[in-house]
Structures are given as structure tokens and as C-alpha cells.
Amino acid sequence: MCLGIPGQIIEITDTKNKLAIVNVGGVKRQINIACIVNENHPSESCIGDWVLVHVGFAMNRINEKEAAETLQILQELAAAQAALSN
């Protein structure tokens, strides 16, 4: 099973190699955006996009509502896991 974590692209760091910085819950990481760019949506237009990130790659774009819902579910799962651990 794969898990994509929602994040928002905040900076393009290397257009040639299709690298960007994504903010995932306040943590900023470099990711590869090659899977989500094309001639109609080039690297430069990705700033502000919400994406699902898996192993350092933006796998696809999602809307802000989907991102918020997914982040909420992940936070609830983390809280439940923490409660079980106590």
C-alpha cells in the first residue's frame, strides 16, 4: 500500500531537474515534480499547487479541499495511534 501525503508547492528550485520545495504540515522538503508537469502546466506554474507526495515525488495534483480533508484524517489517525500507545 502506498501513502501520499498532501503538501503545497512553495518554491521551484530547479526547473531543469524539476525540483521544488513543498510544505507538508509545516515541514519543508525538496521533491521531484516531474510526474505533474507537462507542456500545459510547466514547472513555473506549480507554485501554490497542492500535491500528493510519495517517496520524494509529487505523484499528482489535488485540490485544496481534498488536501485539507486528507491532512485532517492523518491527524486523527496519529492521535488515535498515540492514545493506543499510552
Residue 4 has pLDDT above 80, yes or no: yes
Whether 18 and 31 have beta carbons less than 8 Å apart is answered as no
What is the CATH number for 17? 2.30.30.140
DSSP symbols for 18-67: TEEEEEETTEEEEEE-GGG-BTTB-GGGGTT-EEEEETTEEEEEE-HHHH
Helix (H, G, I), strand (E, B) or coil at 10: strand
Give residue 25's pLDDT: 87
Helix (H, G, I), strand (E, B) or coil at 82: helix
Helix (H, G, I), strand (E, B) or coil at 76: helix
pLDDT in tens, 16-69: 999 999 999 899 999 999 999 999 999 999 999 999 999 999 999 999 999 999
Residue 85 confidence class, pLDDT cut points 50, 70, 90: confident
**Residue 72 structural domain:** 5-85
Q: How many domains is the chain partitioned into structurally?
A: 1
